[in-house]
Amino acid sequence: MNLFRSKITLGVLLAFTLVFSACKKEEKTKVIRLGHALDVSHPVHKAMKFMANRIEEKSNGQLKVDIYPSQQLGSERELIELLQIGSLGMTKVSTGTLENFAPELRVFGLPFLFKDRQHRFDVLESEIGEKLLEASVRNRLKGLTFYDAGSRSFYSTQPLNSPSDLKGQKIRVMESQTAINMVKYLGGSPTPVSWGELYTALQQGIVDGAENNLPSFYLSYHYEVCKYYMVDEHTALPDELLISTVVWDKLSKEEQKWVKDAAMESSEYEKGIWREAELHALEEIKKAGVKVTYPEKEQFRAMVQPMYDEFKKDEEMKKTIEAIQAVK
């Protein structure tokens, strides 16, 4: 796999030279760099700030996390690849992107996998969730916790009321084969575009629409271009907080505990602010003139059923799906 799929400036490369850094006055202080693609007002960014504060508190300043938001250090894919070589300490990515490094995570891309929000939390916080967090370790990526990313729905520059409205529309998807297949089954034309380039792609008509959760739709200002949001809630892909195993293995057992515990605490904190962000986003996009529709979901479910049939041909994936569905 190529370590970089796009050019990264020399200045950024130099910034990656040391993942751990020590202040001259406080030689015992370790600093882990965390890069991600979200805006600073996003609830997941706020959760990571909460985690960084908790790590500093738990370690009495011996361990710190410096956060670089808004793709300052690269796209999601680039950040993952930097973790693999130990040039970056931590990142947050969608499990949709991460499935390219841990195929087990494809299960989250199955439409209507979870019964409701509480079922999703129960699964992610169970042994199933812990096992899936470890799925990428073989690729030097250790999952620390999941962050709630709500449910994803379609939005477009063209009217949306039912699956039939997606027919022929160019819909932006993540670099996820599962997402690509889902859009195909629903009649759309899946078009992978990086998150940072999506606003321009929508403006220029390179794509007609996309799919994401309400806070991301609002905070990305995509509502300025797309005036139709269809709340079909087809998937609930959690975000995942990752640490490079190259960095993790250099931490002491005590330091590892500080990081893991703080990550779990930040996940719990994020649940509350996420729901608030969803309601606020919905209110604001309506004020901005976005037409929000609530389609019947049964037609969506029927159209994507072949995805379940295909997934269940893999015995391990079948077991995972059944285990998730069995969680009460």
pLDDT value at position 295?
97
Domain 152-236+280-326: CATH superfamily is Bacterial extracellular solute-binding protein, family 7 (3.40.190.170)
pTM of the entire predicted model: 0.89
| Cα 80–Cα 82–Cα 85 angle in degrees, nearest 5 | 115
Rounded distance between C-alpha atoms, residue 52 and residue 57, angstroms: 9
Distances, alpha carbon 143 to alpha carbons 14, 51, 55, 205, 272, in Å: 26, 14, 17, 36, 21
Rounded distance between C-alpha atoms, residue 68 and residue 56, angstroms: 17
CB 113 within 8 A of CB 324: yes
Q: Which value, to the nearest 10 degrees, does the dihedral of the CA atoms of residues 110, 113, 119, 123 take?
A: -50
Distances, alpha carbon 45 to alpha carbons 51, 69, 174, 230, in Å: 10, 8, 20, 26
Order of strands, sheet of 90-94, starting from the edge strand that comes earlier in the sequence: 63-68, 30-35, 90-94, 239-244, 141-147
Backbone torsions φ then ψ of 167, nearest 5 degrees: -55, 125
Pairing of strands 63-68, 30-35: parallel
pLDDT value at position 27?
56
pLDDT value at position 328?
86
Each domain of the chain, given as residue ranges in start order, spans 152-236+280-326
For residue 99, give the DSSP letter: T
Q: Note the helical H segments in 141-234.
A: 177-185, 198-203, 214-219
pLDDT value at position 19?
53
CB 54 within 8 A of CB 21: no
CB 150 within 8 A of CB 214: yes
Rounded distance between C-alpha atoms, residue 235 and residue 217, angstroms: 15
pLDDT value at position 20?
54
pLDDT value at position 28?
80
What are the start-end ranges of the E strands in the chain?
Answer: 30-35, 63-68, 90-94, 141-147, 152-156, 170-173, 189-192, 209-212, 228-235, 239-244, 291-293
Rounded distance between C-alpha atoms, residue 210 and residue 173, angstroms: 6
Q: Which value, to the nearest 10 degrees, does the dihedral of the CA atoms of residues 241, 246, 247, 253 take?
A: 100
pLDDT value at position 11?
37
SS3 content of the chain, % helix, strand, coil (to 5): 50, 20, 35
Rounded distance between C-alpha atoms, residue 78 and residue 5, angstroms: 7
pLDDT tens for each residue of the chain, 328 residues long: 444 344 343 334 434 434 555 444 445 899 999 999 999 999 999 999 999 999 999 999 999 999 999 999 999 999 999 999 999 999 999 999 999 999 999 999 999 999 999 999 999 999 999 999 999 999 999 999 999 999 999 999 999 999 999 999 999 999 899 999 999 999 999 999 999 899 999 999 999 999 999 999 999 999 999 999 999 999 999 999 999 999 999 999 999 999 999 999 999 999 999 999 999 999 999 999 999 999 999 999 999 999 999 999 999 999 999 999 999 8
pLDDT value at position 24?
47
User: From the CB of residue 19, how many other CB atoms can be counted at a distance below 10 Å?
Assistant: 21
Tokens of 12: 């950024």
